[in-house]
Amino acid sequence: MEAEVVGLVEKVDFSSFTLISRASIVVKLVILILLTASVWSWTIIIQKTISFRLVRRQVRKFDKIFWSGKPLDELYKIVKERAKGPSSLVFATGMAEWERSQSENGESIPGVSSRIERSVDIIIMKEQEKLSYGLAFLATVGSTAPFIGLLGTVWGIKNAFEEIAISQNTNLATVAPGIAEALVATAFGLFAAIPALIFYNKLSIDLDRIVRTLEIFSDELSTIFSRELDS
């Protein structure tokens, strides 16, 4: 008897495509949502990885130019025409506020240091917001995809038991296909969630490092302006 049941199970096609095609409309909808979320997540992951790498390269390049000893006025003339990267934007913003705070007789208007710091902080926040766009979606997929997949699994198992009750047959050949179809949804949920969660953590750390670098550069720039004011 067991040999006959095993033979029947072996005849059933358990390939992923066949299991999905046999699944109920709810399970198919869950799998479609998870596939869409996975594709979107990988799009964000690839785009952010390339973007962060470019930003780090721009920061290193500008940092090298900034500390090369070139006069700040000359560097500002170059940067304000074609600022590339967040560091150059921070510098251009600080220099622009510095120029606006100079009176006609060459003296600085009171409060210039605080205005420069506020202007630079706003630029850093804008850059952080721009760079962080999409990370919230990765966090959402990483936390919700397993539960969405579990919903499909529960629904599929419910249908499998209903079919068992209708057919009044509890042998393995009847139970296995329905259970397998239901478990596919959980597999897709994990397939979407694991990469999204891993890269969310990695990209968040990379973003924090970039922002920290900009904050350090902002403090250095403020120190230079403060020194100019004192002299």
Q: What are the CA-CA distances from residue 3 to residues 7, 94, 169, 174, 178 (Å)? A: 6, 80, 17, 15, 20
Question: Is 6 part of any domain?
Answer: no
- Let me know if residue 69 belongs to a domain: yes
- Report the first-to-last Cα separation within the chain, whole angstroms: 98
- pTM of the full predicted structure? 0.80
pLDDT of 89 > 80? The answer is yes
Task: Say which residues have a Cβ less than 8 Å from residue 32's Cβ, sequence separation at least 6.
Answer: none
| Residue 10 included in any domain | no
Report the alpha-carbon angle 4-8-12, nearest 5. 165
Asked if 27 and 154 count as a contact pair (C-beta separation under 8 A), the reply is no
Q: What's the average model confidence in pLDDT over 61-73? A: 85
Our CA angle for 98, 101, 107, nearest 5°, is: 105
**Residue 108 forms beta bridges with which residues?**
102
pLDDT of res. 4: 44
Of 176, 161, 148, 168, the residue nearest 9 (C-alpha): 176
Mean per-residue pLDDT over the chain, rounded:
82
Among 113-117, 129-133, 195-199, the minimum mean pLDDT is found in: 113-117
Residue 79 counted as domain residue: yes
Question: Distance between CA atoms of 41 and 51, rounded to whole angstroms?
Answer: 15
- Total structural domains in the chain? 1
**Mean pLDDT within 134-148:** 94
Q: Which domain holds residue 177?
A: 21-230
Give me the pLDDT at residue 8, please.
Answer: 41
Split at pLDDT 50, 70, 90, the class of 133 is very high
pLDDT band at 231 (very low <50, low <70, confident <90, very high): low
Residue 56: the pLDDT is 93
In-domain check, residue 1: no
Q: Would 11 be classed as within a structural domain? A: no
Q: Where are the alpha helices (DSSP H) in 67-171?
A: 72-79, 86-100, 112-132, 135-167
- Whether residue 8 is contained in a domain is answered as no
Highest mean pLDDT among 7-11, 35-39, 67-71, 223-227: 35-39
Q: Is residue 7 part of a domain?
A: no
Question: Does 10 have pLDDT greater than 80?
Answer: no
Query: Which is higher by pLDDT, 133 or 14?
Result: 133
Q: How many CB atoms lie within 10 A of CB 150?
A: 16
Tell me 23's DSSP state: S
The answer to which of 168-172, 208-212, 214-218 has the lowest mean pLDDT is 168-172
Task: Name the token pair of 56.
Answer: 């780090």
